[in-house]
């Protein structure tokens, strides 16, 4: 993935502005112990999340499920879920600093936790699993031996959501609803718009991505990215307002990339008259779509986070843990969409077209636009 000067400037800004109290580490432990199987029986794990918590039915919950799956195989391990109530960047990092002394591994899902690198330097005997961000630089250091920072190519999952929406819409009006314009969320938006444009170009459709006035997002560089942003991942009321407004404008398929806020969009669609559907995000949300005898979920654009969290925890206990910054793509089956029978409502024709495109994404022929890869939703590799 191309490095982007703007992105690194923003992450550096977070590092400088984040107030991190020096956390008290465990002097009796050392870095080698943490990486060579310390706590194999009784690994103490914490997960610190955004205000939507580990039961948001989406992003946070899938990270948490990765921990729970690990504990099933290591039953003496434990986990503590900590909900940071404000969503503030400095408060998010401080929440980690407050508990670092008490745990062996801390999982931090979300861009707001980029500043934990300062805590990691102060506590080399602790392991950190950071999802959705690279750690903020400390001086010239950008990678850390005790931080495994995993980013997913959300634009790929968003691309498949956009394809599904554009191929299945009857009104030719679709939309994406987002939470906050963090890079990962903008990736979903740009990927979705790329998928819609791909279908329009390749299959001769004329589908519009609808954006509501007053809900445009501003990304971490200050750029206006458009879209429909609620400004929170834990505001169901605003989610419902946005969902109802989109439905009123004739939108019949909504990709919901908004965490807990998305629950409000789901409610709006369930209460809507006519055939309106949603596309789930991050995880398979088909069960959340049950609406009487029907289901409102068309499919879900997913990134397979739980299996990757579990994989890293396994590496901690078997001594193979290695810190670093990684980006996970479709070629490792870390991004994609739900196509298992009984978990989607896509037509056979749509499935065929999406499976064909999936192979092109995997081999790099199609490269959907993301917040920082230099492409735009109307001009990216693979758009004929």
pLDDT tens digits along 44-67: 999 999 888 998 878 899 999 999
Q: Is the pLDDT of residue 136 over 70?
A: yes
Q: What's the mean pLDDT when you consider all of the chain?
A: 90
Is 266 inside any structural domain? yes
Is the domain of 122 the same as that of 252?
Answer: no
Q: Do 21 and 107 share a domain, yes or no? A: yes
Mean pLDDT, residues 138-148 = 97
pLDDT tens, position by position, 67-111: 999 999 999 999 999 999 998 899 999 999 999 999 999 999 998
Report the share of the chain in percent with pLDDT over 90: 84
Starting from the edge strand earliest in sequence, which strands make up the sheet with 208-209, in order?
208-209, 173-178, 253-257, 277-282, 297-303, 335-337
Residues 85 and 52 in one domain: yes
4-49 tens-digit pLDDT? 444 444 444 444 444 333 333 333 333 333 343 454 459 999 999 9
Could you give the number of structural domains in the chain?
2
Q: Answer whether 146's CB lies under 8 Å from 105's CB.
A: no
Is 29 within 8 Å of 37 (Cβ atoms)? no
Same-domain status, 179 and 36 = no
Residues 87 and 134 in one domain: yes
From the CB of residue 328, how many other CB atoms can be counted at a distance below 10 Å? 18
Distance CA 37, CA 105 (A): 12
CATH of the domain at 16: 3.40.50.2300
Give the pairing type, strands 105-109 and 44-49: parallel
Range of the domain at 24: 5-152+305-331
Q: What is the pLDDT of residue 384?
A: 75
Q: 355 in the Ramachandran plot: left (φ > 0), alpha (ψ -120 to 50) or beta?
A: alpha
Residues 325, 189, single domain; the answer is no
207, 324: one domain: no
* Mean pLDDT, range 295-299, rounded to an integer: 98
pLDDT over 80 (residue 186): yes
- The confidence score (pLDDT) of residue 330 equals 96
377 found inside a domain: no
pLDDT band at 356 (very low <50, low <70, confident <90, very high): very high
Q: Judge contact between 163 and 198, C-beta under 8 A.
A: yes
Same domain, 232 and 269: yes
List Cβ neighbours of 365 (8 Å cut-off, separation of 6 or more). Answer: 381, 382
Q: Are residues 68 and 160 in the same domain?
A: no
Q: Name the burial class of residue 335, with classes exposed (0-12), middle (13-18) and buried (19+) by CB atoms within 10 angstroms of its CB.
A: buried
**Residue 190 covered by a domain:** yes
134 and 13 both lie in a single domain: yes
For the beta sheet containing 127-131, the strands, ordered from the edge strand earlier in sequence to the opposite edge, are 78-83, 44-49, 105-109, 127-131, 147-152, 324-328
- Look at residue 378 and tell me if it is in a domain: no
Q: Pick the residue with more confidence: 322 or 4? A: 322
* Model confidence, pTM: 0.80
**What are residue 71's phi and psi, to 5 degrees?**
-65, -30
In this structure, are 23 and 143 located in the same domain?
Answer: yes
Query: Cβ distance 203 to 353 under 8 Å?
Result: yes
The SS3 call for residue 130 is strand
Residue 10 has a pLDDT of 46
Q: Average pLDDT for residues 163-185, to the nearest whole number?
A: 97
- What pLDDT shows up at residue 41? 59
Question: Does residue 234 share a domain with residue 179?
Answer: yes
Q: CA 108 to CA 191: how far, in whole Å?
A: 24
- What is the number of other CB atoms lying within 10 angstroms of the CB of residue 292? 6
Question: Which residues contact residue 185 at a Cβ distance below 8 angstroms, ignoring those fewer than 6 apart?
Answer: 154, 178, 179, 217, 229, 257
Q: Is residue 144 part of a domain?
A: yes
Q: What is the structure's pLDDT at 171?
A: 98
């Amino acid at each position: 993935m191309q490095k982007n000067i703007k992105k690194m400037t923003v992450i550096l800004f977070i590092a400088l502005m984040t107030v991190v109290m020096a956390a008290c580490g465990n002097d009796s432990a050392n870095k080698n112990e943490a990486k060579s199987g310390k706590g194999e029986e009784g690994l103490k794990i914490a997960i610190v999340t955004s205000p939507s918590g580990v039961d948001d039915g989406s992003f946070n919950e899938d990270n948490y499920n990765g921990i729970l799956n690990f504990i099933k195989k290591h039953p003496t391990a434990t986990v503590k879920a900590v909900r940071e109530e404000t969503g503030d960047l400095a408060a998010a990092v401080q929440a980690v600093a407050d508990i670092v002394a008490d745990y062996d591994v801390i999982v931090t899902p979300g861009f707001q936790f980029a500043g934990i690198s300062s805590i990691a330097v102060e506590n080399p005997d602790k392991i950190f699993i950071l999802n959705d961000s690279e750690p903020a630089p400390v001086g010239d250091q950008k990678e850390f031996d005790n931080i495994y920072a995993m980013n997913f190519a959300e634009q790929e999952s968003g691309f498949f959501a956009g394809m599904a929406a554009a191929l299945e819409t009857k009104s030719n009006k679709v939309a994406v609803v987002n939470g906050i314009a963090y890079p990962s969320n903008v990736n979903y938006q740009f990927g979705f718009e790329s998928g819609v444009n791909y279908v329009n170009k390749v299959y001769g459709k004329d589908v519009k991505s609808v954006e509501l006035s007053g809900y445009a997002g501003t990304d971490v560089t200050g750029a206006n990215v458009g879209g429909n942003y609620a400004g929170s991942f834990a505001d169901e009321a605003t989610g419902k307002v946005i969902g109802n407004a989109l439905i009123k404008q004739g939108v019949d398929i909504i990709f919901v990339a908004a965490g807990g806020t998305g629950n409000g969009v789901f409610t709006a669609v369930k209460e809507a008259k006519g055939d309106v559907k949603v596309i789930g995000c991050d995880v398979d949300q088909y069960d959340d779509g049950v609406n009487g005898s029907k289901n409102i979920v068309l499919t879900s654009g997913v990134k397979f986070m739980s299996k990757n969290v579990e994989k890293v925890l396994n590496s901690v206990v078997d001594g193979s843990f290695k810190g670093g910054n990684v980006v996970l793509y479709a070629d490792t089956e870390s991004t994609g969409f739900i196509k298992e029978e009984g978990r989607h409502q896509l037509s056979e024709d749509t499935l065929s077209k999406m499976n064909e495109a999936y192979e092109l994404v995997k081999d790099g022929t199609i490269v959907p636009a993301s917040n920082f890869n230099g492409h735009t939703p109307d001009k990216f590799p693979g758009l004929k």
